[in-house]
Structure 1
Amino acid sequence: MTTSAMLRRRYNGDAVTTASPNRLVVMLYDRLLKDLNTAFGAVSQGDVEVAHRNLLHAQDIVTELSSSLDLSMWPEGAQLKALYDYLTERLVQANVSKDASLVAEALEIVEPLRDAFAEAALAPDLS
């Protein structure tokens, strides 16, 4: 591994360990969008291996986002959990069928969620 790669890895590790919980969620969404965009391109180009790897990672991220919801603290989160469950189903189907339209559908769901969480992360804490 080059020195540059080691420094980048350390920086990224430090960024994650020092990020606020709100920022961590935005970082997960950012990576989810990266995975989905990469998967979309890979499916479109017929690169099954890259599509598979990125769709699996996207599923892992959605699972992490879903499992981090505390419905006892935020009962309204049940709707978001249902959306995560739907998104997981679509990602699995996209991976099985290598259907770019399903990946595009996932992108249409994730992009506004990412933007909403990013906006909320920047809002002043009113508590």
Structure 2
Amino acid sequence: MNDSYLDYGAVDLQTRASTASPHELVVMLFDGLLDELARLRGHLEARHFESKGHSIDRCLNILDGLDAALDPDSGGAVVQDLSRLYRYCSQQLCNVSVTLSQDTLDEVAHLLDELRDGWQQVGSRP
């Protein structure tokens, strides 16, 4: 891919992030995570194992960031449940790294897509 295109994408992302609300930032992280999961699927199908490893690392980093952003003092049980779900997804992605299971990847992608939609709905409330 062209470096200019990648540079433009990075600038666009920085611009959107600088003006985003906290909920919009979380949705942006989920969008990036879901995009990377799609890339991971392609790497698994093509048997590009080095690229697969990089994609899994990126996904784990985003999940760690989402988990770290949770506020356990003000979120109560919801935050604890989200944290457990993020950790579960991380564990499943580690399993995908070893087993190359498309079914496990599908499960993780489905869970995270549902969470993304939930965050999107929370952010769109007046």
Q: TM-score when scaled to structure 2? A: 0.89
| 1:39–1:55 Cα contact (<8 Å) kept | yes
CA root-mean-square deviation: 1.5
Q: Which deviates the most, 87-96 or 23-32?
A: 87-96
Gapped runs of 5+ residues in structure 2? none
Supply the distance in 1 between the matched residues of 2:49 and 2:8 (Cα, whole angstroms).
Answer: 31
Match of 1:120 in 2: 122
| 4+ long deviations beyond 6 Å | none
- Per-residue Cα deviation, 1:22-77 (whole angstroms, up to 9, x for no partner): 10000000001001111012112211122211111011111111111111111121
| 1:43–1:51 Cα contact (<8 Å) kept | yes
Q: Percent identity?
A: 24
Q: What is the 5 A alignment of 1:1-127?
A: 1-2=3-4, 5-76=6-77, 77-124=79-126
Aligned residue identity for 2:16: A
SS in 2 for 1:69: coil
Supply the distance in 1 between the matched residues of 2:14 and 2:49 (Cα, whole angstroms).
Answer: 30
Supply the distance in 2 between the matched residues of 1:101 and 1:43 (Cα, whole angstroms).
Answer: 12
How many residue pairs match? The answer is: 123
Supply the distance in 1 between the matched residues of 2:49 and 2:6 (Cα, whole angstroms).
Answer: 27
| 1:48–1:98 Cα contact (<8 Å) kept | no
User: Which one has the bigger helix percentage?
Assistant: 2
SS in 1 for 2:94: helix
SS in 2 for 1:32: helix
Q: Which deviates the most, 59-68 or 48-57?
A: 48-57
Gapped runs of 5+ residues in structure 1? none
